[in-house]
Structure 1
């Protein structure tokens, strides 16, 4: 019996040393910073001025600031819960869910939502990378028209190679470059907006939509855009899993250090882009702020190059969680051998599928709102709070209990309202859309 148990533990250890999340535990606190910046400051930041145009100044500023505070709080909760059981680490979001809700229910609560987020982000980033490449081409060669499909394929082809890097720490260089690029293009977006300046009599701050129902649906969709922008929680435990930990020096201290710096960077990127972009363009801003900016030409080209480099890194950060889940399932449940061939086949198929879906449905604005509300709100805004209440059981009506319930109510409202507006936007955009155009 002891021999069987020992053999089982050895198999589990060998598998963890092969899987991408747990195969390397030598991450530094600054890895946490740029992995979190790369995961958080993504394509969503470019849609924030558009979200502001749907929300208006008062609600827009309130939703942005509240989201920053709530998601920092829920991120802190997840970092704290990573090692709350002595001698055990919850290296994956679903493992934390299983501890809180039980082995089966925990999987069903967390895995579908987490997969929807990570796959959804990867699809949106395929579209973003393709659109940015197309924007660069259209500026350089304005008289030559090439389909967006081809640019998405060019962007996707990079990932057929990068996706075979084995684990989180092996993509740290790509993630660092992506984090620098995200700060770069966010800065360019708001600096170029300020440089353009507010045209006299041109800018209107009335909410979009010609009637009340359009404005209401637009408001709902904008909530999803904001939720999409605060999306790093889905890989936070996986990032923390790469940091070494001992009873004397738990991983939560370096991890939280990285998170705080990452959130300062998030604030410096998000708030200027959202508020200054909206101030300059008003209700006429595009769903990607860089499309609204036409001059100076060299700066807009540079910003789009930065976006392409960033979403390459960000795609990899989110895909790594999917790879870990899929490879773990194939080895544990389907009894495949953990070989290099298995990894090559599964990762190549995944990149091809996300690229195919991006080519088929390139609705950037609508997808931001839909995924932001339906999938990101639960895993980012309120699921950590539910787990915290289930595990720590704070006294009813205590400060902790009240804060968690406020976050849960806000998150549930986001999850219900945002997809309604986003689905309407996708349906309207799809009316005039031809596949593979």
Structure 2
């Protein structure tokens, strides 16, 4: 057998050697956002941590409220359908990303996928802006919810305390200022492992609290009937769909897959298995137990049902305390994860890929831009303390197209399955149905905001 000589240095420099490591060339061509934030060093286990933190977040505490709008049968059914569709969709995105990586062009961001598959402009003018709004909106929502958890902990110890919600939101925002400086997505892997444990902990506390309340005389009378007003019932259904979509939403699968060390084949699927094992345990236990305990009296966050109108606990005080404490701690991790797409944009705009990541040239702009980003999110959270309505609108307008519609369209355009195949028609049906739900859900969410507008007040102490 003939032995091939190693390539000469001249051949390497001229690009004539086909065995030159493509990763080195790829790293050379990356902008500062992709190079510094989306470091490709993680394992499939780290991917599972990132996925779990981005999906299994305290927004799941809204699921009993969604079931109250849908009823038992429709609520549990759609909860299961959303789990199956998102697991399927996220796998499709992973397959498309793997396909392009094998062709020598690894896509690191959602907008990169849109540009490569749909053509120039799609990433910049459609997918990019929607992803930014969804992820940054999630940061605002987490900051607000973190403030609400802090306020609950405060009222448990000082029932007559005079501190306002916006003060706690600011405290949470100050904590976020520190966490936001963590340099890369990959650097969050151990924080997200702790986050995975925390989501199991507060879900267990919430489920236990719901069972206690459901068996207690202190809880509301169980009534599972839906609204008798047809219009309210219809819009309530679509509002619930949007809430569930937000709960399962991710919006940054490509960015998470970008943290994987090459080769990436099969790693995302393993990460998704970890994530959806946690999803199954937490989502269904909280949703079913919470709705069973309080029926159609479920509030936007089920933890609010654990307190009476005077902020006195209806379940053991320590259980309320732990559920809120674990939620508060995990919210910090969730908010940092959803900051990553924003950080990518900021680093691309202000960073210099030719300078070291921790040089003054990159550290100073990073410190300033991320601090401004967190400050703006904190200010908006303090001004607009209506988490449930914002949650529904984000789900309808952003997570539905990003996580339900685009993945199946990306797959069909990339792999071009036969129009007679089951996969083609399954993907087409998913795209059409969830496109319709996107439009109707957005209308329903805006309607709910308009109905609640009479209660809106900047910096309200809700």
1:354 aligns to 2:372 (yes or no): no
Matching residue of 1:428 = 451
Mapping 1:140-289, distance limit 5 Å: 140-198=157-215, 202-207=221-226, 209=227, 211-232=229-250, 234-245=251-262, 250-289=263-302
- Cα distance in 1 for partners of 2:361, 2:401 equals 32
The answer to whether the 8 A contact 1:177-1:309 is kept is no
Matching residue of 1:119 = 136
Matching residue of 1:370 = 393
Among 309, 334, 358, the residue aligned to 1:314: 334
Q: Secondary structure at the match of 2:150?
A: helix
Matching residue of 1:54 = 69
Alpha-carbon shift at residue 228 of structure 1 (Å): 0.5
Q: Compare CA radii of gyration and give the structure with the larger one.
A: 2
Deviations 1:357-379 (A, max 9, x none): 11111111111111011111000
- Cα distance in 1 for partners of 2:377, 2:150 equals 17
Q: Secondary structure at the match of 2:121?
A: helix
The answer to whether the 8 A contact 2:240-2:392 is kept is yes
- Cα distance in 1 for partners of 2:166, 2:33 equals 38
The answer to whether the 8 A contact 1:41-1:229 is kept is yes
- Which segment is superposed worse, 387-396 or 417-426? 417-426
Q: Secondary structure at the match of 2:457?
A: coil
Alpha-carbon shift at residue 338 of structure 1 (Å): 5.8
Matching residue of 1:40 = 55
- Cα distance in 2 for partners of 1:274, 1:80 equals 31
- Which segment is superposed worse, 369-378 or 320-329? 320-329
Matching residue of 1:406 = 429
Assess, with a 3 A threshold, how the Cα gap between structure 1 residues 394 and 14 changes in structure 2: closer, same or farther.
closer
- Which segment is superposed worse, 414-423 or 352-361? 414-423
Assess, with a 3 A threshold, how the Cα gap between structure 1 residues 252 and 375 changes in structure 2: closer, same or farther.
same
Aligned residues: 426
Q: Secondary structure at the match of 1:339?
A: helix
Assess, with a 3 A threshold, how the Cα gap between structure 1 residues 10 and 361 changes in structure 2: closer, same or farther.
closer
Q: Secondary structure at the match of 2:266?
A: helix
Alpha-carbon shift at residue 126 of structure 1 (Å): 0.8
Deviations 1:370-409 (A, max 9, x none): 1011111000111111111111111113111111012112
Assess, with a 3 A threshold, how the Cα gap between structure 1 residues 9 and 417 changes in structure 2: closer, same or farther.
closer
Assess, with a 3 A threshold, how the Cα gap between structure 1 residues 10 and 299 changes in structure 2: closer, same or farther.
closer
The two structures, once aligned, show a CA RMSD in angstroms of 2.5
- Cα distance in 2 for partners of 1:97, 1:103 equals 8
Matching residue of 1:67 = 82
Alpha-carbon shift at residue 323 of structure 1 (Å): 0.5
- Cα distance in 2 for partners of 1:397, 1:339 equals 53
Q: TM-score, normalised by structure 1?
A: 0.92
Alpha-carbon shift at residue 326 of structure 1 (Å): 2.6
Q: TM-score, normalised by structure 2?
A: 0.87
* Structure 2: runs of 5+ lacking an equivalent: 1-11, 16-24, 307-312, 354-359
- Cα distance in 2 for partners of 1:252, 1:190 equals 37
* Structure 1: runs of 5+ lacking an equivalent: none
1:343 aligns to 2:361 (yes or no): no
Alpha-carbon shift at residue 198 of structure 1 (Å): 4.5
